[in-house]
Amino acid sequence: MAAKNVNLQVEDREYLCIIGPSGCGKTTLIKCIAGIIEPDEGEIYIGDRLVNKLPIEDRGVGYVFQEIALFPHMNVYDNVCYGPFVKGWSISRVENLVKEMLNMMGLQDRVRDHPDELSGGAKQKTAVARALVSGSRLLLLDEPLGALDAKVRRVLRYELRRLVKDLGLTAIHVTHDQEEAMSIADRIVVMRAGEVVEVGTPFELYMRPKKLFTANFVGEANFLVGDLVGEEDDCVKIDVNGKILYSKCKVNFEDNRIVAVIRPEFIIMRKSTSLKEVWKGEVRGKVFLGSSIRFEVQMENGSLVAVKRPVSPETLRFNVGDSVSLILPREFLLLYPYPKEGLERAISIE
Amino acid sequence: MPGIRLVKVTKRYGDVTAIRNLSLEIGDGEYVCVLGPTGSGKTTLLKLIAGIVKPDSGEIYIDGRLVNNVPPQERNVAYVPQYYALFPHISVIDNVAFGPLSRGVSREEAYKVSMQMLEMTRLAWRANSFPHELSGGMQQRLALARGLASGAKILLLDEPLGALDARLRVELRYKLREMAKENNLTTIHVTHDQEEAMIVADRIIVLRNGEIQQEGPPSQIYNEPKNIFVAHFVGGANFFEGFVAETDQNGSWIQLRNGFVLRINEVFGSVGERVVVMVREEKATIIRGAKKREGINLLPGTIEWVSFLGDFVSYSIILDNGDRVNSKMPTIIGVGRFRVGERVYVHLRPEDLRIYPYPPHGLYKELEVI
């Protein structure tokens, strides 16, 4: 089953991203909305219209394919003109709109070029211009930046969003790259194995993920398995393999077995300290990431924890083999019931 | 003795010069990343070392031996192409055993080694599956196991993580390096992803249009980029156009657009010379602008856009002189701190600024990635 009982509402002028691992159903979903494939069950509404039986060309959507799919024998100008031309628009109307679109995309100097003469980014912009010039208010983008270099992706994604917002369009942008989604989406839909796992703003999914899978798929997280052992000072007390930790999370779980989650950059690391709540460990790995450093720390109870700190004179001094003390702030330690299928299956992204 | 050495190697394809007079040395056991945009010549470089293509001029040495005329199968290298080229019609273990078997190793020995490699890549349990039955990540591990089974001491990886989902890439990049180091291999890993290169490499070689721009450990490439291309390609950077207004024995004053001035700690160029000043996004600090402030490198502006990136928050500021600055702050400090439309000051410490001559074809062209 490619998609299972999916309920989704997209707001007018929203920039929505759908993310998930390969095979999660995101492309199937977007193809259903476009009309490229028909759902077996359920209804799809665009605006107030039920569109299940409407052919693609009557749905008012612009679609950008993953493979870009420009006509190789036509130049940029003709590629972009194609849709409205085929629809029978007057030549002057087409010309004006196309010129405006090409200027907006910065392609005015490439109008006579053929696809094989264009860079990856220019091809992508042409594909977007082609989708937009049809006058659609809804833009469907299937991995629009997939074929491009990492650096080009990072630059072009902001241009995509700016364009959609400037034109007042609604966009549904499918991608496997959560960093891409985080940087430009108003809201993100997380999918897995045909189902919607969670929907939220980038901030919500990152700071307060409702599901373990989301915590692992969006950004990096440490997962610590333990047991609820009580309450203290309005905080929940947990035991992780002999180490006691505290969380401000409110819990109402059936079982005592839990998974505690904390992102690497929220952990505080010190050379050594006699503070009550510290957790002692030894640095096993150190990787320079540019503006931050990622450490791997082996804790005294056996847990292996990832810590990420911004580059600074203090953090640069930590080295492999150093003894350190970690503090896991209570407000950043999130708690979840231990999943029935086991932790590894629950968070696996394959 | 260095593992691999190229001396003034050039390779042309018709009118296009893919590799231009390139010399480099890779030490035995080193994990080197060749980093560059599409079309920079990285794959050609790998193919030259593998022996799949021959150089038009220059010499290639592997373990001290001149190999220009030595065919690929005799070079003791394992080449793993971008899309793996797995044999679809034979099983996982047969794919791995193929290399040793075709080199004349006994069946018993070939399958023993293959099983070892599969265990190392955690694929032993799928030994009898076929490649199309495996997930993307597993196929990547299979390609690697096949490369390792060849017994070669040099591993050439062409965008090894390119075919994988972003999230999987992040997970597997550490494993790649771990495996290479555990097996004492000399590895050349080609990629266009600078984040990946920073994490896995002992040394990074930045390539552009067939020429080496800079090589060195990740921290050096990041903190001391030799030119604008490297500064822009590796990490997020802000660039300001200006000219040298004044110099003294301790540094220079650079005049930017519309009268703004920056102090840098470098004595650079001559008065009137056109320059570009660079500062990393995380070194541009934002201070509240409610109170009027004055000071060196304190530039007034307005917050234009806020982007939540997870572990970082990115603020885009339009300065009063028209220049744009991106400031990156760790979430724990930066989230919710400033609002769109708010008046602020951007502070740039002189020691965090780097200066470059103004590029002959213009700054925009130099920064062009699209």
For chain B, which residues make up each domain, given as ranges? 4-230, 236-367
Give the neighbor-by-neighbor strand order of the sheet with B154-158. B77-80, B154-158, B186-191, B31-35, B203-208, B211-216
Token pair in block for residue B112? 């023993």
B103-127 confidence digits (pLDDT tens): 889 999 999 999 999 998 889 999 9
Taking the Cβ of residue B1 and every Cβ of chain A, the question of whether any pair is shorter than 8 Å is answered with no
Q: What pLDDT does residue A263 have?
A: 97
CATH no. of A221-347 = 2.40.50.140
Whole-angstrom Cα Rg for chain B: 25
Contacts of A264 in chain B (CB under 8 A): 311
Flag if B166 and A182 touch (Cβ within 8 Å): no
Segments of chain A assigned to CATH 2.40.50.140: 221-347
- pLDDT-based confidence at residue B369 (cuts at 50, 70, 90): low
Residue keyed to tokens 């067939």 = B210
| Mean per-residue pLDDT over chain A, rounded | 91
Quickly state the pLDDT bin for A334 (edges 50, 70, 90). very high
User: CATH for A15-213?
Assistant: 3.40.50.300
Backbone angles phi, psi at A25, to 5 degrees: 105, 5
pLDDT confidence bin for A277, thresholds 50/70/90: low
**What does the block give as tokens for B85?**
């080229």
Residues in chain B: 370
On whether the CB atoms of residues A162 and A169 are closer than 8 A, the answer is: no
Closest chain B residue to A209, measured at CA = B310
- Asked if A293 and A286 touch (Cβ cutoff 8 Å), the reply is yes
Q: How far is CA B143 from CA A194, B80, B113, B172, B213, in A?
A: 28, 7, 15, 13, 30
A166 touches chain B (CB under 8 A): no
Residue of A nearest to B370 (CA): A121
- Gap between the Cα atoms of A2 and A12, Å rounded: 26
Residues of A in contact with B236 (CB under 8 A): 291
Inspect the interface and report whether the beta carbons of A176 and B38 lie closer than 8 Å: no
Per-residue confidence (pLDDT) for residue A1, from 0 to 100: 67
Q: pLDDT tens digits, residue range A110-157? A: 899 999 988 888 898 899 888 888 788 899 999 988 888 888 888 889
The SS3 call for residue B108 is helix
Q: Report pLDDT digits (tens) over A143-197.
A: 988 888 888 888 889 888 988 998 899 999 999 899 999 999 999 999 999 999 9
Q: Which ipTM value was assigned to this complex? A: 0.84
CA atoms within 13 A on the CB side of B227: 15
Question: Has residue B1 got a pLDDT over 70?
Answer: no
Q: Residue A99 corresponds to which amino acid?
A: K
List, by residue range, all CATH 3.40.50.300 domains of chain A: 15-213
CB of A304 within 8 Å of any CB in chain B?
no
Tell me the per-residue pLDDT of B198-233, one tens digit each, with 9 for 90 and over.
999 999 999 999 999 999 999 999 999 999 999 999
Which strand (E) or helix (H) includes residue A27? helix A26-34
Is there a contact between A22 and B222 if contact means CB atoms under 8 Å apart? no
What confidence tier does A2 reach under pLDDT thresholds 50, 70, 90? confident
Which carries the bigger pLDDT value, residue A318 or residue A100?
A318
* Cβ–Cβ below 8 Å for B331 and A121: no
Given an 8 Å threshold on Cβ–Cβ distance, is A287 in contact with B171?
no
Task: Considering only the beta carbons, identify the residue of B171, B194, B222 that sits closest to A150.
Answer: B194
Which residue of chain B has the CA closest to A162? B305
How wide is the angle at C-alpha B160 spanned by C-alphas B157 and B161, nearest 5°? 160
> Backbone phi, then psi, for B16, in 5-degree steps?
-90, 125
CATH fold for the domain made of B236-367 = OB fold (Dihydrolipoamide Acetyltransferase, E2P) (2.40.50)
Residue-wise pLDDT for A30-68, tens only, equals 999 999 989 999 999 988 889 998 888 888 898 998 778
Q: Which of A178, A206, A291 sits opposite B282 (nearest CB)?
A: A291
- Contact list, B170 vs chain A (CB under 8 Å): 220
Q: What is the mean pLDDT of residues A16-22?
A: 93
- Cross-chain CB nearest to A177 (options B166, B236, B370): B166
Whether the CB-CB separation of B351 and B283 falls below 8 Å is answered with no
Alpha-carbon distance values, A181 to A17, A104, A142, A163 (Å): 6, 23, 13, 16
pTM: 0.88
Is B165 within 8 Å of A21 when comparing Cβ atoms? yes
**pLDDT, tens digit, 9 for 90 and up, residues B5-49:** 999 999 999 999 999 999 999 999 999 999 999 889 999 999 999
Q: Which of A273-287, B70-84, B182-196 has the lowest mean pLDDT?
A: A273-287
Q: What percent of chain B lies above the pLDDT cut of 90?
A: 74
Tell me which fold the domain B4-230 belongs to: Rossmann fold (3.40.50)
Residue of A95, A119, A116 whose CA lies nearest to A106:
A119
Packing angle of the helix pair B92-102, B136-149 (nearest 10 deg): 20
- Given an 8 Å threshold on Cβ–Cβ distance, is A310 in contact with B282? yes
> For chain B, what is the mean pLDDT?
92
* Among B213, B311, B313, B314, the residue to mutate for chain A (most A Cβ within 10 A): B311
Provide, as residue numbers in chain B, all residues whose Cβ is less than 8 Å from the Cβ of A179: 166, 309-310
Q: Which residue of A has its CA nearest to B168?
A: A349
CB spacing of B369 vs A289 below 8 angstroms: no
Q: Give residue-wise pLDDT tens across range A215-272.
A: 999 999 999 999 999 998 889 999 999 999 999 998 888 899 999 999 999 999 998 7
pLDDT value at residue A320: 95
